[in-house]
Structure 1
Amino acid sequence: MSNPTKRIVLTEDWTVVVLGFSIILLAVLGVLLPVPSFGWNNTSELLDKVLSGANIQKILIQLVAVVIVAVAGALLLGKSVKPFFTGLPVVYFLTILALIITGNSAAKDLNLEAVIFSLIIGLVIGNTVKLPEWLKAALSTELFVKVGLVLLGTSVIFSDILKSGSLGIIQALVVVVSVWYFAFWLSKKMGIDEEMGIMLSSAVSICGVSAAIATSGAIKGDSKKLSYVISLVLITAIPMMIFMPYAAKAMGLSEAVTGAWLGGTIDTTGAVAAAGTLVGEEALKVSTIVKFSQNLLLGVAAFAISIYWTVTNNPLAKDKDTKPSLGVIWERFPKFVLGFVAASLLFSFALSPETVSSVKGSLKNFQGLWFALAFTSIGLETNFADIFNKDSKKPLYAFLIAQGFNILVTLLVAYFLFR
């Protein structure tokens, strides 16, 4: 007799869509989570503001919400809920530590994002301490990431991007297509496996970490490869953020061209904002428009990549020329991408601006929290020996060469469109 607790009620992707839209629906109906404060300049503010009783209460309310969502996901998947009562709080408080570090004024001045510290904390602990099984069981990285991606759709507002300017959209299309195909071609030429090549190409060309995660979900990629790509994105984003504004000044580029160059090249949103701020107000505005335009292409790219991956990696085919049916494509298609697109369409066209304005702060905070939880989990699961070894040299070289190509192509397109 089968064990009913092991029966899968829904697939993980459909579970994520249900969870994500449940969160969105509750927010629209007025059930908004409080947003804790993590900003501080000195020890006094840390104790009186961030670690105050009122703020700790908000943090604990968020913990309860996270556990409820995770437990609901486990129930829908027919999995054990115990790890989310025992291990998830540990992951949560490690993530809160990362958020507190990020909230310091020094980190804010550099526009360092919480996911960077989440990953670092996870990596340090995961590579120095043997994790107990009850903690490992709570590291549901894909679930955390995909819930965050569905919620991310609520911040991709089509009308805002269209009003901000068509030039940013044109640049995003040209750069994403050209850089993605170059990076993918290069990866194949260097003998890198197709799965890694697709994740690298998406990370370089679209929007860094989010694109790598979405692509990994679309092709059901290996978590170790994803961790490696994320590490490359975060490591290269910081020096690019610092040196590119000075390079633009040395070349005598206008603020508009510089902003378009920064927004289309630097892979993380926070680093784009930091670099744009170093140049000026117009550069900051244009860089943000271009980055948002690339974010808009995330769902489209994940959809296209999932179709490509299904067609070219059909397990039911008797030979490589046999193409899968539409039913197989639908079965293997990552449904969380539909959740992302649906959330974006809902907030772009169905809800009133007043409703969007009233809920976006709470949803953005919760979305960021899920990403941070995922990065803490990735760090805890990742072994340095698996990432930085002789077998990882080719992907590193491919990423750096593709990023160099991205820098040059984006500069040419930005100069042509925004001069």
Structure 2
Amino acid sequence: MAAPSHDLIADAPVAIHHRPAHAPATPAAPTLLPGLALSAALAACAFGLRLVPGLGLFSPMILAIVAGMALHNVIGTPARAKPGVAFSMSRVLRLAIILLGLQLTAAQIVEVGARGLVVIALSLTGTFLFTVWMGRLLGVDRKLAELIAAGTSICGASAVIATNTVTRAHDEDVAYAVACVTVFGSIAMFIYPLLPALLHLDAHAFGLWSGASIHEIAQVVAAAFQQGQQAGEFGTIAKLARVMLLAPVVLTLGLLATRRARHGGETRSNAQPPLPWFVFGFIALVGLNSVISIPAEMKTVIVTATTFLLSMALAAMGLETDFAKLKAKGLRPLALGLLAFLFIAGFSLALVKLTT
């Protein structure tokens, strides 16, 4: 058969693409604005809710994911908001984690001291490994167990959503893990201040124990400062040093996910887990914050903006979370969260006693 004429091929597009002037324009690509606006509105609502008596104990991130879940399950997430919601869960989240680096300096980490860093590192590592192992024994999905492990051992909701950039669990898993670290971190926030005298902990030891084992930064601050300024300041610094370990943990999990994919342990759609490049941005900003002095007013703005962006990401996560799917996961992950909390509290306390 003769090859088709080049003239025919050249003429074809003219006939196909020619349309009358009155024909409707091609629909524009979905805009990110509605979803970004909705996520931002929920984050702003979360900040406002903290002014309500009793709710100030919770971070805006926690309130944001609760607000997102409530909206999604009562009214539903508008279809046109989906692209912006997905953008908030990915790009906005990564930017917020990078900005977290401006809340840490090398000097703060040094201030914790060698013994303090050993306590923090061993507590984190031991808790993470224990939680993943116990999750396997309880029959909890590996990805959900990793999220609970990260949230308990590192820094609560921030660690959960950062870890999920490489774990890539379902949104319901993220919501469940955030719920676990919120519940048990809040319990620790109320119980810890009752224990220093009983456990014979001075201000330094209590601050280290709080910073090494309580889940969220806000919860550490609330608990540690109840034992005085020295305990509060040292607890906060110890917690920030613990946050620094988020970078190596996420990088390690990313490498492990890639290794599993190469050995056929993941489905084809998950065959190339992303390398968390944003973690290097986090480390770079820690370095920058260590060599230049950021004015206190600007630092306050940066901290607020970072918390707002993290709240946007969690609000978006809530907008993708189904209560029915959450309920279907049962109580085993909650039991895992409880065991992880008890482990990090007991293990870190034993290390503090041994080293102080």
TM-score by length of structure 2 reads: 0.83
**Residues in 2 aligned to 1:240 and 1:298: alpha-carbon distance in whole angstroms:** 21
Q: Which runs of 5+ in 1 are unaligned?
A: 1-78, 321-327
Deviations 1:235-276 (A, max 9, x none): 222121011211333333222222222111110000110001
Deviations 1:133-172 (A, max 9, x none): 1123321222222111011122121222213433321211
Q: Contact conserved, 2:184 with 2:341, CA < 8 A, in 1?
A: no
Matched position secondary structure for 2:282: helix
Matched position secondary structure for 1:313: helix
Show the counterpart of 1:348. Answer: 290
Show the counterpart of 2:300. Answer: 361
Q: Contact conserved, 1:176 with 1:205, CA < 8 A, in 2?
A: yes
**Does 1:126 find its partner at 2:72?**
yes
Give the alignment partner of residue 385 of structure 1, picking from 324, 345, 352: 324
Partner letter of residue 121 of structure 1? A
**Residues in 2 aligned to 1:230 and 1:265: alpha-carbon distance in whole angstroms:** 16
Q: Give the deviation of 1:81 after TM superposition.
A: 5.8
**Residues in 1 aligned to 2:111 and 2:339: alpha-carbon distance in whole angstroms:** 34
Partner letter of residue 279 of structure 1? Q
Q: Give the deviation of 1:217 after TM superposition.
A: 0.8
Partner letter of residue 139 of structure 1? V
**Does 1:116 find its partner at 2:88?**
no
Q: Contact conserved, 1:171 with 1:290, CA < 8 A, in 2?
A: no
Aligned residues: 322
What is the CA RMSD across the aligned residues, in angstroms?
Answer: 2.3
Show the counterpart of 1:411. Answer: 349
**Does 1:376 find its partner at 2:322?**
no
**Residues in 1 aligned to 2:53 and 2:144: alpha-carbon distance in whole angstroms:** 36
Q: Give the deviation of 1:358 after TM superposition.
A: 6.1
Show the counterpart of 1:190. Answer: 138
**Residues in 2 aligned to 1:310 and 1:364: alpha-carbon distance in whole angstroms:** 33
Partner letter of residue 311 of structure 2? A
**Kindly tell me: are residues 401 and 106 of structure 1, through their superposed partners in 2, closer, same or farther at Cα, counting changes over 3 Å?**
closer
Give the alignment partner of residue 82 of structure 1, picking from 31, 35, 38: 31
**Residues in 2 aligned to 1:212 and 1:364: alpha-carbon distance in whole angstroms:** 19
**Residues in 2 aligned to 1:187 and 1:94: alpha-carbon distance in whole angstroms:** 32
**Residues in 2 aligned to 1:179 and 1:91: alpha-carbon distance in whole angstroms:** 32
**Residues in 2 aligned to 1:206 and 1:336: alpha-carbon distance in whole angstroms:** 17
Q: Give the deviation of 1:230 after TM superposition.
A: 0.7
Show the counterpart of 1:51. Answer: none
Show the counterpart of 2:14. Answer: none
**Kindly tell me: are residues 184 and 171 of structure 1, through their superposed partners in 2, closer, same or farther at Cα, counting changes over 3 Å?**
same
**Residues in 2 aligned to 1:106 and 1:399: alpha-carbon distance in whole angstroms:** 24
**Residues in 1 aligned to 2:233 and 2:192: alpha-carbon distance in whole angstroms:** 16
Larger radius of gyration: 2
Partner letter of residue 392 of structure 1? G
**Residues in 2 aligned to 1:224 and 1:178: alpha-carbon distance in whole angstroms:** 26
Show the counterpart of 1:333. Answer: 275
**Kindly tell me: are residues 332 and 95 of structure 1, through their superposed partners in 2, closer, same or farther at Cα, counting changes over 3 Å?**
closer
Partner letter of residue 379 of structure 1? G
Matched position secondary structure for 2:281: helix
Show the counterpart of 2:97. Answer: 149
Partner letter of residue 78 of structure 2? P
Q: Contact conserved, 1:83 with 1:137, CA < 8 A, in 2?
A: yes
Counterparts of residues 312-323 of structure 1 (less than 5 Å) = 312-314=260-262, 317=263
**Kindly tell me: are residues 185 and 269 of structure 1, through their superposed partners in 2, closer, same or farther at Cα, counting changes over 3 Å?**
same
**Residues in 1 aligned to 2:85 and 2:244: alpha-carbon distance in whole angstroms:** 29
**Residues in 2 aligned to 1:231 and 1:388: alpha-carbon distance in whole angstroms:** 12
Q: Contact conserved, 1:165 with 1:289, CA < 8 A, in 2?
A: no
Q: Contact conserved, 1:145 with 1:370, CA < 8 A, in 2?
A: yes
Partner letter of residue 113 of structure 1? S
Higher RCO (CA-CA < 8 Å; seq separation 6+): 2
Partner letter of residue 115 of structure 2? L
**Does 1:211 find its partner at 2:159?**
yes
Matched position secondary structure for 2:245: helix
Q: Which runs of 5+ in 2 are unaligned?
A: 1-27, 266-270
Matched position secondary structure for 1:137: helix
Give the alignment partner of residue 136 of structure 1, picking from 82, 90, 93: 82
Q: Contact conserved, 2:148 with 2:180, CA < 8 A, in 1?
A: no
**Residues in 2 aligned to 1:338 and 1:210: alpha-carbon distance in whole angstroms:** 16
Q: Contact conserved, 1:264 with 1:410, CA < 8 A, in 2?
A: yes
**Residues in 1 aligned to 2:196 and 2:245: alpha-carbon distance in whole angstroms:** 26
Partner letter of residue 43 of structure 2? T
TM-score by length of structure 1 reads: 0.71
**Residues in 1 aligned to 2:197 and 2:72: alpha-carbon distance in whole angstroms:** 42
Show the counterpart of 1:250. Answer: 198
**Residues in 2 aligned to 1:82 and 1:135: alpha-carbon distance in whole angstroms:** 8
Q: Give the deviation of 1:357 after TM superposition.
A: 4.8
Partner letter of residue 303 of structure 2? K
